[in-house]
Structures are given as C-alpha cells and as structure tokens.
Amino acid sequence: MADPSLTSPSRTPLRSPNASLTLSFPFLRERSRVWEDGKDHPLPRDLPSPLPTKRNRTYSATVRAQSSPVFKGICKNFSRSQGHGFLRPSHGGEDIFVHISDIEGEYVPVEGDEVRYKVSRVPPKNLKVQAVEVKIVHLNPGTKHETWSGQIISS
C-alpha cells in the first residue's frame, strides 16, 4: 500500500501500482486517434482517400491535367458503391485508375463503354497516373446504363 501522506505535485494522493488505473485526457481533439468510450470507431469507408480527387487536387496538378493530351480507352470496370474503377487504354499499357469525382456526363460507366480522358500524376512520388476529365463517348450496346440520379436506361 502507498503511504497516504505521499502526494503528487498536483496535491492528489498517490495510489498503489496494484490498484486499477484510469487514464484521462484533458480534452479530445476532433479527428484525433483517441476515441471516447461508447463512440463508434470509423469504418474504412469513412477514412479519407489518399488519392487526389477533383475536390482536393492542387491548382498546379489541375493545370497539368488540363494541358494533358486526350486519350481513348474502354471502361474495364467501375463500382459506383466503391467510387472507383479502371480504364483500359486503347494504345495498350497498364490499366488506369479512375475516381468517381473525375467522371463527367450523366451516365455511370459500365464495362465496355468507350471513353476519352486525360491523365494526372498521383502524388507523392508521381510514379502512377489516374484518369481525369473522363467522358463516355459511346455506350456499350446491349447493356443497361444508370444515370447518376438512379434512372436505368437500356442501350
């Protein structure tokens, strides 16, 4: 047992190390890694994406993307619920990532749609590229297409 006469610099009595200890913080900052008891932990879908979207792309990256040449490709896959997909360039090469915020037009792309796009480098190392200003130029015939508002259209 600790001597009850011993106190800490803040004048609170010291306790035995065998007693249960509780830690408290004077305040919790928003977005800190410490959560209060009873609060739900953030889900992976709630965490910010490390990929630059149209909303968080820097001005210089936006200017470079706008001055990029226009490429043609085919939509390899796209998941509206996940918010991203991949394009297959018509000139060959690796598939290119596309984020939902970079798709222009009224339709959600589906596999086989012909698209035109520009590319932007992905920081921090600028080794990979992602498609920006993606426009569907020809809908894949025989497939159902969905508008961003949820209306289904057969092509």
Rounded Cα gap, residues 86 and 130, in angstroms = 9
Rounded Cα gap, residues 59 and 40, in angstroms = 36
pLDDT digits (tens, 9 = 90+) for 11-23: 666 565 665 655 5
Prediction pTM value: 0.62
- Cβ contacts of 8 within 8 Å, gap of 6 or more: 14
Rounded Cα gap, residues 50 and 112, in angstroms = 28
pLDDT of residue 8: 59
pLDDT of residue 88: 96
Q: CA-CA-CA-CA torsion for 6, 8, 14, 19, nearest 10 degrees? A: -160
Rounded Cα gap, residues 122 and 19, in angstroms = 52
Residue 54 has pLDDT above 80, yes or no: no
pLDDT digits (tens, 9 = 90+) for 24-50: 555 555 555 554 445 555 565 555 555
- Cβ contacts of 143 within 8 Å, gap of 6 or more: 110, 111, 112, 154, 155
| Contact call for residues 113 and 139 (beta carbons, < 8 A) | yes
Phi, psi of 127 (to 5 degrees): -90, -30
pLDDT of residue 119: 92
pLDDT of residue 18: 63
Q: Give the chain's domains with CATH numbers.
A: 68-145 (2.40.50.140)
| Contact call for residues 151 and 120 (beta carbons, < 8 A) | no
